[in-house]
Amino acid sequence: MQAARHVVVALSGGVDSAVAALLLRRRGYQVTGVFMKNWDMLDEHGVCTADRDCEDAYRVCQILDIPFHQVSYVKEYWNDVFSDFLSEYEKGRTPNPDIVCNKHIKFSCFFHYAVDNLGADAVATGHYARTSLEDEEVFQQKHMRRPEGLFRNRFEVRNGKLERPGQTFRMGTQRRLLWSVAAGPCLSAAATSVSSTLAGWS
């Protein structure tokens, strides 16, 4: 019997990444959860919000009975994301730190940690986006001949099936190589279906 693929999920402590881990478990994957601490910030009560998110991510792993790991990229975030944000802002531009964070932290530091340290076969996030590879797989699953010229040998990051704005623009800077080992279990789901999945979580 072939061993289940090992997927490392980036858990933020929020709903989407928790459901992503749940869906992967239900599909029979070997799942590991990782929480990334990228920023040190206290709320009005002096509590570090990242620590609170980490506790939520840990509870998700306990409920799903999967391994949990925590990594800190505070230094990397400051040097590669926040400093760049300040520099661009000083030049009169309006940068988007989420895009830079995806490039340098989620799909660089986290990606290499998951593969090199945890032996991941794939990584997953709670982002709402899909790829042209997924569309092509639909034709294969239904035994339909792929229309000539439809994909034109291009790789694209596309919008998910949402009633709310997707996150494709945040993911478009990632290298194609990454997408061959990256997965977003929520990518084809509507926002309502993710909420209903969480509501039925037992």
pLDDT in tens, 165-177: 444 434 444 443 3
pLDDT reported for residue 201: 52
Q: Token pair 């620590």 is at which residue?
A: 51
**Which of the two residues, 3 and 59, has the higher pLDDT score?**
59
**pLDDT tens per residue across span 49-63:** 788 899 999 999 999
Q: Please report the pLDDT score of residue 83 as a whole number.
A: 73
* Residue pLDDT, tens place only, 19-47: 889 988 988 889 999 998 877 765 555 45
Torsions phi, psi of 184, nearest 5?
-130, 90
Predicted pLDDT at 96:
66
Burial of 2: CB neighbours in 10 Å, binned 0-12, 13-18, 19+? exposed
Amino acid at 75: K
- 93: buried, middle or exposed (CB in 10 Å: 19+, 13-18, 0-12)? exposed
Q: Looking at the predicted structure, is the pLDDT value of residue 132 above 80?
A: no
Domain boundaries, given as residue ranges, for the chain: 6-130+159-199
What is the rounded distance in angstroms from the CA atom of residue 15 to the CA atom of residue 122?
21
DSSP 8-state assignment for residue 3? P
Question: pLDDT digits over 70-122, tens only?
Answer: 998 888 777 767 777 777 677 787 776 666 555 656 676 788 889 899 999 88
Name which of 40-44, 128-132, 162-166 the model is least confident about.
162-166
Given a cut of 70, is residue 202 above it in pLDDT?
A: no
Residue with tokens 């909420």: 195
* Superfamily of domain covering 6-130+159-199: HUPs (3.40.50.620)
Q: Which residue has the higher pLDDT, 159 or 11?
A: 11
Give the mean model confidence (pLDDT) for residues 142-165: 47
